[in-house]
Chain A
Amino acid sequence: DTGVSQDPRHKITKRGQNVTFRCDPISEHNRLYWYRQTLGQGPEFLTYFQNEAQLEKSRLLSDRFSAERPKGSFSTLEIQRTEQGDSAMYLCASSRLLAGDATGELFFGEGSRLTVL
């Protein structure tokens, strides 16, 4: 059982460029979440998917942020026209939602750290 993997682990980009992060969840998990974490803060919820359906995206920080999970497996988070304020750690998590198993335990990847110059 491999854990949640994220790629790249680190990304340095110039302001105005687009960046994309990838997340591969634990294979049997049907829910996938994206969080943002800034220095000294806890993870901040951005969006989540159940299978391929994006069920909540109102917390995405602006219309420059978008996420996809096209086949219900891996997911991508794209930030267009990056700004210095986008510098943060972007965390992906997955969980399993089955009848009788809805504990909400999240399994996190190691994160993708974005630095916008």
Chain B
Amino acid sequence: AQSVTQLDSQVPVFEEAPVELRCNYSSSVSVYLFWYVQYPNQGLQLLLKYLSGSTLVKGINGFEAEFNKSQTSFHLRKPSVHISDTAEYFCAVTEANTGGFKTIFGAGTRLFVKA
């Protein structure tokens, strides 16, 4: 079974500052990793995903994440945040090659960007 831990429940940051949202996972099998974003009163949308290959993956809205197998981490980063990045961010894991069956989500990190 897989599990996901998001290490920070809330991250306040000033506009144009860099940010890192931390995610650790555990699994006994190969996994795919995802970051989703949820804006207020909306569903989740995919920011980026790691399937295989390069450990640095780039997503939408200037976000990127780095897969670290030895540390079982998949931290999300953005070099300069905007007010519009204020949202809830979810790290998720699914067993590789199963097509997303029973994707497991972390509890979320609320990013709050201040002017």
Contacts and interface: CB of A to CB of B under 8 A. Distances in A.
B43 A40 contact: no
Contacts of B102: 45, 48, 56, 59
A105 B107 contact: no
B107 A102 contact: no
Instruction: Name the interface size band of chain A.
Output: 20 to 34
Interface in B26-66: 32, 34, 36, 41-46, 49, 51
B49 A102 contact: no
Contacts, number: 77
A43 B36 CA distance: 11
Nearest to A4: B43
A34 B60 CA distance: 25
Interface residues of B, number: 28
B100 A31 contact: yes
A102 B108 CA distance: 25
Nearest to A91: B43
A57 to B, nearest CB: 12
Interface in A81-117: 91, 93, 95, 97, 102-111
B94 interface: yes
Contacts of A42: 4, 90, 92, 105-108
B99 A102 contact: yes
Interface of A: 4, 31, 33, 35, 40-45, 48, 55-56, 59, 91, 93, 95, 97, 102-111
Interface of B: 4, 9, 32, 34, 36, 41-46, 49, 51, 90, 92, 94, 97-108
